[in-house]
Amino acid sequence: MSSGSTLGVGSALHSFLVFQMEKSNCSRARQILDSLVSFLRKFIFRILSMGPLPNHIAFIMDGNRRYAKKLNLIDGAGHKVGFLAVTSMLKFCYELGVRNVTIYAFSIDNFKRSPEEVQSLMELMQEKIEGLIKDESIVNCYGVRVYFVGNLKLLSEPVRLAAERAMLATAKNSKAVLSICVAYTSTNEIVNAVEESVEEKWNQITVLEASGAGYGLIKLGGIEHHESEPLIKLVDIEKHMYMAVAPDPDIIIRTSGEARLSNFLLWQSAFCYLYSPSVLWPEIGLRHFLWAILNFQRHHSYLNKKGEQLQHLLQDGF
Amino acid sequence: MVETLTMVFSLRFSSLSLPPHNTITLYTLPHVPNHRLRSTSNVSPPSSTLLIKHSLCPCAAPTQQQHLLVPEEEEEEEELKCINEAPSLENDSLPPGLRRECMPRHVAVIMDGNRRWARLRDLPVGSGYEAGVKSLKTLIELCCKWGIRVLTVFAFSTDNWFRPKVEVEFLMSLFEGGVKDGMGSSLRENIRISVIGDISKLPKSLEELIINVEESTKNNSQFQLIVAVSYSGRYDLVQACQRIAMKVKDGIIELNDVNESLIEQDLETNCTDFPYPDLLIRTSGELRISNFMLWQLAYTELFFAQSLWPDFGEADFLEALQSFQRRWRRYGE
């Protein structure tokens, strides 16, 4: 894809020049270059907007440690560079008009890493979360409401409090949504949703029983009585998911070439397009983003049909 | 998406050569399988019971070998039983390029592309399904020969009920004929057949046939073929949740007892000892799961093949397995 490689060279050149220019305080040249690249990008996005756009893109940010090893960086530096890639991707998404973005920042499985690495990641997360609250942060520039999705009780208190502050501070933003999955696995999310669904139904039955009106409901069978309404329906589980704050993703992008979900959005990924470029997360650029969007547009009619079918299934009480 | 139910049960298994029982071979680990994972970290991580169920390929994950793999005393008996029951592989049964110790235990397949295959050749859709039957037969033979224990195929999804009525009825009748044909073959070849999905939506006669074939093959242990019919991953989770809700209502379990293990026990894949696929293959180039097993695919390696399903043969399967064996499965570490 020659335009893609041109853009790839352009964005790599941009990154390199930005780095050099910052050191030499050559702000004017940097501004001109920034404006040129920004203009080119917005022009391309304007063309893409003529086709269908994804409503929700999710990212599995894989490859930070391999990146650090590849460049002989110190431990933890890969993740710091990876954060720059996060801000780039968020900028692309919100500029293009993608309303919902989800990132897989820290899995419950990641707690198995060495204590030093976990500690370093927690410190980095806390620092970046506190950065989100600042006025000039990307979330405030684009009017993004931030949610921290996961079993937040597993986080250390400073990180959890920072997350809660960030959610509160961005609660008034309404143009877009950023869901940051921390201390998250999809199976944990589903277990929690099942617990809450069952508890909600149990409370409803208990209340009705106490009022003497619950006998009919208690007779509700489950799967063995087809004519009866099931106790729990799909919509009951969905509304208790941590990710109920956003629609299902249209695209899941996992970098570093690994093709697996790693316990991320298992429920929500039922119909979405899975894209796994071989690039490491800190190296992801505009060309990968554009390729994902173009492939989404190619399959959009299929996705629409599946969406309609799913609606029919929901109406049938499934 | 392949809806060819009939392909499963019209297979002639007589040509399959299953490995003999008389030697003991481990498939996934050179050590005793089904270890519990214990972290070396001082932080006490919440454990995911799913990880215990996934095969760990030491070849693909060097860091996993450093991980403490401490067998629980109470599991030793179960582990020995597992070793003794594991069918063996002849030394030369694997093609070059595949390592026996890194073979997946459970392979899942989304057999997509039959109708496109037929359209490309100006053939009726039924021809595509017939060609798909041959591919599935080849795949089952290869799985048995190469020591894969479980093969799950996505034959008919809940979404496929929206296909034209004529097509759906045609498939149901083909499936019914295939079940009758395949029952005897499965018994002879020690193959267990299980069906997952909402079979209550199928014609009554077919539903009864399926119950019979499951019952009559349930003690077969060499190889298990799981056919997903009228199945969706979300439906599977919802029905598991409904079962759990009934158990709580009946006082069998407490609400606090709900955990990943409990959900796993009530999913439709509780018909097998290996409910989590190690490898999922989807043909025809589509890059999506399409509401197949969602919970069970948490750590599954995904392989997307460009071939249409009727064209998917030994070479394509070999490529998928080689890709699987090159993967580095870290499970979050």
pLDDT digits (tens, 9 = 90+) for B215-248: 999 999 999 999 999 999 999 999 999 999 899 8
Interface residue of B1, B69, B161, B246 to substitute, partner A, most A CBs within 10 Å: B246
> Does residue B58 carry a pLDDT above 50?
no
What is the mean predicted confidence (pLDDT) over A248-262? 95
What's the pLDDT score for residue B61? 41
Helix H or strand E encompassing B158: none
Give the pTM: 0.81
CB A273 within 8 A of CB B287: yes
Length, in residues, of chain B: 333
- Point out the catalytic residue in the list B112, B236, B278, B316: B112
What's the pLDDT score for residue A264? 96
Length, in residues, of chain A: 318
What's the pLDDT score for residue B328? 79
Please write the tens of the pLDDT for every residue from B62-84. Answer: 333 333 333 344 444 444 333 33
Task: State chain B's mean pLDDT as an integer.
Answer: 77
What is the ipTM, given to two decimal places? 0.83
Using CB atoms, pick whichever of B242, B294, B327 lies closest to residue A230: B242
- Characterize B73-99 residue by residue with b for buried, 16 or more Cβ atoms within 10 angstroms of its Cβ, and e for exposed: eebeeebeebeeebbbbeeeebeeeee
User: Residues of chain A with pLDDT > 90: what percent?
Assistant: 64
Give the pLDDT band (50/70/90) at residue B94: confident
What's the pLDDT score for residue A135? 73
What's the pLDDT score for residue B92? 55
> Does residue B29 carry a pLDDT above 80?
no
Cα of A71 to nearest chain B Cα, Å: 20
Say which range, A244-258, B60-74, B85-99, has the weakest mean pLDDT. Answer: B60-74
Please write the tens of the pLDDT for every residue from A143-171. Answer: 999 999 999 999 999 999 999 999 999 99
* pLDDT top residue among A317 and B183: B183
User: A57 Cβ partners below 8 Å, 6+ apart?
Assistant: A93, A98, A100, A101, A102, A249, A250, A251, A252, A253, A292
**Which structure tokens are listed for B246?**
């009934």
Burial degree of B166 (CB within 10 A; 0-12, 13-18, 19+): exposed
What's the pLDDT score for residue A209? 74
Please write the tens of the pLDDT for every residue from B112-162. Answer: 999 999 999 999 988 888 888 889 889 998 999 999 999 999 999 998 898
For residue B248, what is the nearest residue in chain A, using CA coordinates?
A: A198
What's the pLDDT score for residue B86? 41
Using CB atoms, pick whichever of B243, B255, B287 lies closest to residue A274: B287
In chain B, what residues touch A233 (CB-CB under 8 Å)? 238
- CA dist., res. B271 & res. B249, Å (int): 24
Q: Of B236, B233, B246, B251, nearest to B293 (Cα)?
A: B233
> Does residue B33 carry a pLDDT above 50?
no
DSSP, residue by residue, A144-193: EEEEEES-GGGS-HHHHHHHHHHHHHTTT--SEEEEEEEEE-HHHHHHHH
What's the pLDDT score for residue A24? 64
According to the per-residue pLDDT averaged within each range, which of A242-256, B5-19, B22-36, B184-198 is highest? A242-256
For residue B50, what is the nearest residue in chain A, using CA coordinates?
A: A187
> Does residue B57 carry a pLDDT above 80?
no
Residue A275 near chain B (CB below 8 Å): yes
Q: Is A233 helix (H, G, I), strand (E, B) or coil?
A: coil
B181 is catalytic: no
Q: Is B20 helix (H, G, I), strand (E, B) or coil?
A: coil
What's the pLDDT score for residue A308? 59
Using CB atoms, pick whichever of B263, B287, B328 lies closest to residue A190: B263
CB B281 within 8 A of CB B300: no
Give the pLDDT band (50/70/90) at residue B308: very high
> Does residue B43 carry a pLDDT above 50?
no
Contact A187 B303 (CB under 8 A): no
What's the pLDDT score for residue A179? 97
Please identify which residue in the block is written with the tokens 């983003």.
A289
What's the pLDDT score for residue B50? 55
Task: State chain A's mean pLDDT as an integer.
Answer: 86
Give the pLDDT band (50/70/90) at residue A309: low
Q: Phi/psi of residue A236, each to 5°?
A: -65, -45
> Does residue B257 carry a pLDDT above 80?
yes
Contact A230 B51 (CB under 8 A): no
- CA dist., res. B174 & res. B197, Å (int): 18
Cα of B223 to nearest chain A Cα, Å: 25
Helix H or strand E encompassing B264: helix B260-266
What's the pLDDT score for residue B69? 35
Say which range, A303-312, B52-61, B267-276, B312-321, has the weakest mean pLDDT. Answer: B52-61
Helix H or strand E encompassing B68: strand B68-70
CB A180 within 8 A of CB A149: yes
Interface residue of A60, A239, A266 to substitute, partner B, most B CBs within 10 Å: A266
Helix H or strand E encompassing B225: strand B223-231
What's the pLDDT score for residue A307? 60
Give the pLDDT band (50/70/90) at residue A173: very high
For residue A258, what is the nearest residue in chain B, using CA coordinates?
A: B327
